[in-house]
Amino acid sequence: MSFIKTPLSQLNIDPFGAIGQDWMLITAANPDGAANTMTASWGGLGVLWGQDVAFVFIRPQRYTKEFVDSTDRFSLTFFDGQKKALSLLGSVSGRERDKITEAGLHLTDIDGVPTFEEARVTLICEKLYADTIKPECFLPTAAENDAKWYANKDYHTVYIAKIQAAYIAAE
């Protein structure tokens, strides 16, 4: 599959559906060149600090977090379909299994960042900020989120990343 670099302003992507319902992959490579990915249904796209950004959330026990933490850049990948593959990639650890091969997807890279040949849209992101969600920072109107989402006290790290480039699949 080949990809066409596309201005962000020309992307036709609904972040609510693409992330929350269809899901995305967060993919990064470590310094040795090995890549890992995870399915995510939390995150967003927007503007911050005068830049087009993406923000994603990764729990501390996720293997992909080690890869994201070891590099400055990662990709966000969106697909048409592939729900079965994304479900597998979100429920199996790459620590123990070659889940990418099992899912039937094929790694490639764009601008030196891993992504997938089957991608509909790939965003190449550069980390700008990372911090762990803090339970003491939940406001009273959202305090139930701590109990609901963090019963194990495994608070996500939120990453804010500049979107360096967008690519769409060539037809």
What's the pLDDT at 1? Answer: 67
Q: What is the CATH number of the domain that holds 128?
A: 2.30.110.10
**pLDDT tens, position by position, 56-67:** 999 999 999 999
- Residue 66 in tokens: 């080690």
Pair 109, 37: CB distance under 8 Å: no
Confidence of residue 105 (pLDDT cuts 50, 70, 90): very high
User: Structural domain of residue 97, as residue ranges?
Assistant: 3-169
93 vs 102: CA distance, rounded Å: 11
Start-to-end C-alpha separation, the chain: 9
- Residue 166 in tokens: 């967008």
**How many folded domains does the chain comprise?**
1
- Residue 117 in tokens: 């040949």
Tokens 């592939």 identify what position?
82
